[in-house]
Structure 1
Amino acid sequence: MSGEKNILVGQSGGPTTTINASLAGVVAAAREEGCHVTGMRHGIQGFLAGRTVDLGEALPGQESLTLLRQTPASWLGSCRFKLPGLSDQAFYEDALARLDAAGIDAVLYIGGNDSMDTIAKLGTYGARVGSPIRFIGVPKTIDNDLVGTDHTPGYGSAAKFVATSCGELFRDADVYDLKSVTFVEIMGRDAGWLAGASALAGPRGAGRPDLVLLPEVPLGEDALMERIASLLSKQNTVMVGVSEGVRTADGTLICEKTVAAGTGTDEFGHLAQLSGTSRYLADIAKARLGCKTRAVELSTLQRCASHVASATDLDEAFELGRAGVRAALDGQTARMCALTRVSDEPYQTVPVLLDVVEIANKVKPVPRAWISADGMDVTEDFERYARPLVCGEEPVTYADGVPARLAPLA
């Protein structure tokens, strides 16, 4: 690409603590390269409806970018909009015509698996018809389940919040001289990366859950109750970190056994809401073991708790936004910016570009070797992998006693 270029950037899917850091990286790199940046309001769906914002005007200086980096959730707004198959030529002709009419040279889309599906389809169709528009994916998801990349921005900060919260909940649950079991429900539809992060809460007996249940291994209720009973014979307090996506051997989600389970699916075929796993298990434990039980759902706090964001996560999210701009200006298309880990000690990663078609619609599970033999905990290898991702604290700007945030878009 040569001359002044117009970059279109959007955010899609579930928000994270660091998705705006990637947006800040896009804007910062574009300014360095003399490019104009336009934002999609509510993702590709908003763009197709004619909703955009001039980010040069909306983010006029460094102070606004600093606040944007510290602001949780998707500042531009998000969507869950599934593009049709490539056989729908009329849709893609119209989409590219709209991009051409807006003078767009490159599209950067910050999102997870479903967002990479959007970039894969647009990039594939664009290449098929010889469009000069470049399409680049910038990853984010607290689920950490994108294939190809060592980890995904958003995961480290959510993992830090999960570990912090579990450590605090453990201390709270342990104050009384009685037998009790606390189930902490943690996000993770198809992969247990985030639930596994609860193991980072501290030493056993001082914050770390006694058991960690992941979707990768089917849950046997009888076996679980036997393990909890055994633990209660030796200690007062038992804590269980449990992924919302935990399933039985026949594939049934535990949350589907409860009246609290979400109903309906989104455009990508996912259950609209997973909820109730911890409540179901707490009720079973109370009935079978006769002890006090508690169910705690961390819910959306996991993806918006910017007051405990990982500085490592924020830095990597920012740099991948910058890398997306560089890739587009270098003429790359249908690519996703990713991270390759160079070393654990000292921790170091480098950005790489991957074929987004090979990433979209795939899920990266926690390796079975990183899960205990009985399926009820994670191993030291998992902890060694995850620990660097939660490290570092960002200096937070405060106003009137609470963290300052960038004002929402009108």
Structure 2
Amino acid sequence: MKDKLKGNLLVGQSGGPSAVINASLCGIIEEASKHSQIEQIYGMGYGIEGLLHKNLMINLTNLSPSVIKRLYHTPSSILGTCRYKLKEDEYEKVFDILKAHNIRYLFYIGGGDSMSTAHKIDELARGNGYPLRVMGVPKTIDNDLPLTDHSPGYGSAARFNAILTMETGLDGRAMQFPEPVKIIETMGRNTGWVTAAACLGKRKEEDAPHLIYVPERPFIVDKFLSDVENTYRRVGWVLVVACEGLKDTSGELIAADKRELNIDAFGHPELGGVGEYLTELVKDNLKIKARYDKPGTAQRASMTCVSKVDLEEAYLVGKVAVQQAVKGEDGYMVTLVRESTDEYKCSTGLAKLEEVAGKEKYLPDEFINDEANFVTDKYKQYALPLIGEPLPDYLFSFEELK
């Protein structure tokens, strides 16, 4: 173990909120309070952007156990978050703030872009000979961080979408004569992990969802219309789940708001509109009545459908980040390592920040069917342990009334 590094700890939350990101914050606070070399614990107000422009720092050192308990079960990002890409000259300003407050431990909770920010600050500290232990704490409902089996936040978003699809499917089946086609638009920029989870409550072939479309496969209009028509003829109604990040064969988003105001600092356009677009395709080309649902940001930060497994693992990665930093580790992101495929068990590991910064993990080919309109049983085997307790045991048709 390296010599004890004395000083203050600063933690920030970045990117889209989740149902369990505050559990990671709890893990950091509670573990940090056990180590005498960590003198004060501060939180960034509104991530790196708040720190840079307003020097927002919230003292978290003496939070009561009752507040920590409530925080653990509070969704979204209690400290506030941001989608801010530091300019080259701003890194020095952030570095000066860290030195002014004797910050020696820096933890950033977020996804790939957040890990990029943490990595660059870590490099700057090393280059200036300033002892600073920087650790990334994974968080993304998109589940697209590489080198970790899965990311905290995903299990709860997956559970939300599984239950949403089950219940929307019950509505769709009941309304199959007046409204035969229903489309759910889910979140996901370049990957279909959230969308894929819609299948987790499906028990029989005729149950919803019937079709799933993810960005890992190009969206082809004629193929989509054929899929919908064939399913309608076979089942009598159709529930489609489509990712907001669907792209055509040329790689262009089929629906997105690309106005300058709606493009974030990392160059990402605001996604949305896929549900409406697909609904109009069905009505105009198949002459079948269709409507769409868009749960939007509710799916990323709903404590109502939280996965207990997700909560526990989110706390764990925060706790481990502190333990590793105190031991002397620096420049890593904590990862989750699946130890068994028989009975689910997960431990932690470490990945270098430079190896996860700004990178994405896509749905593997083995998780997508050959028709590119659904997911496979291998995906279900992967995802089911992450959503926690069993899904609701609903009746799905009057044939079950026996």
Q: TM-score, normalised by structure 1?
A: 0.90
After superposing the two structures, state which structure 1 stretch, 201-210 or 280-289, moved more: 201-210
Which residue pairs with 1:77 in the alignment? 80
SS at match of 2:385: helix
Which residue pairs with 2:254 in the alignment? 254
1:63 is displaced (CA, Å) by: 1.5
**Does 2:97 align with 1:126?**
no
**Which segments of 5 or more consecutive residues in structure 1 lack a partner in the other structure?**
394-410
Q: What is the aligned counterpart of 1:20 among 4, 19, 22?
A: 22
SS at match of 2:304: helix
What per-residue deviation string (whole Å, max 9, x for no partner) do you get for residues 98-120 of structure 1?
21110111000111111101111
2:206·2:235 contact (CA, 8 Å) conserved in 1? Answer: no
1:168·1:207 contact (CA, 8 Å) conserved in 2? Answer: no
Q: RMSD in angstroms over aligned alpha carbons?
A: 1.5
SS at match of 1:161: helix
SS at match of 2:11: strand
What per-residue deviation string (whole Å, max 9, x for no partner) do you get for residues 368-397 of structure 1?
12101111111111111111110139xxxx
Partner Cα separation in structure 1 for residue 225 and residue 360 of structure 2: 30
Which residue pairs with 2:395 in the alignment? none
What per-residue deviation string (whole Å, max 9, x for no partner) do you get for residues 178-203 of structure 1?
26111100000000000001010221
2:28·2:321 contact (CA, 8 Å) conserved in 1? Answer: yes
Q: What is the aligned counterpart of 2:303 among 303, 306, 312?
A: 306
Which residue pairs with 2:159 in the alignment? 160
Which residue pairs with 2:108 in the alignment? 109
2:152·2:314 contact (CA, 8 Å) conserved in 1? Answer: yes
Partner Cα separation in structure 2 for residue 237 and residue 105 of structure 1: 59
SS at match of 1:229: helix
After superposing the two structures, state which structure 1 stretch, 202-211 or 31-40, moved more: 202-211
Which residue pairs with 2:97 in the alignment? 98
Which residue pairs with 1:407 in the alignment? none
Aligned length: 382
2:22·2:77 contact (CA, 8 Å) conserved in 1? Answer: yes
After superposing the two structures, state which structure 1 stretch, 367-376 or 184-193, moved more: 367-376
Partner Cα separation in structure 2 for residue 188 and residue 116 of structure 1: 19
Which residue pairs with 2:148 in the alignment? 149
Which residue pairs with 2:185 in the alignment? 185
Q: TM-score, normalised by structure 2?
A: 0.92
1:241 is displaced (CA, Å) by: 0.8
1:83 maps to a residue whose letter is L
Partner Cα separation in structure 1 for residue 206 and residue 45 of structure 2: 45
What per-residue deviation string (whole Å, max 9, x for no partner) do you get for residues 196-240 of structure 1?
010102213564311110000001110111111111112222111
1:167·1:206 contact (CA, 8 Å) conserved in 2? Answer: no
Q: What is the aligned counterpart of 1:268 among 251, 266, 269?
A: 266
Which residue pairs with 2:394 in the alignment? none
Which residue pairs with 1:396 in the alignment? none
Which residue pairs with 2:200 in the alignment? 200
Change (3 A) 1:112 1:3: closer
1:263 is displaced (CA, Å) by: 2.7
1:344·1:388 contact (CA, 8 Å) conserved in 2? Answer: no
**Does 2:365 align with 1:368?**
yes
**Which segments of 5 or more consecutive residues in structure 2 lack a partner in the other structure?**
391-402
Partner Cα separation in structure 2 for residue 226 and residue 207 of structure 1: 19
- Within a 5 Å distance, the mapping from 1:284-303 to structure 2 comes to 284-303=281-300
**Does 2:228 align with 1:223?**
no
Which residue pairs with 1:404 in the alignment? none
- Within a 5 Å distance, the mapping from 1:204-215 to structure 2 comes to 204-205=204-205, 207-215=207-215
1:45 is displaced (CA, Å) by: 1.7
**Does 2:387 align with 1:390?**
yes
1:177 is displaced (CA, Å) by: 5.0
1:50 maps to a residue whose letter is N
**Does 2:64 align with 1:61?**
yes
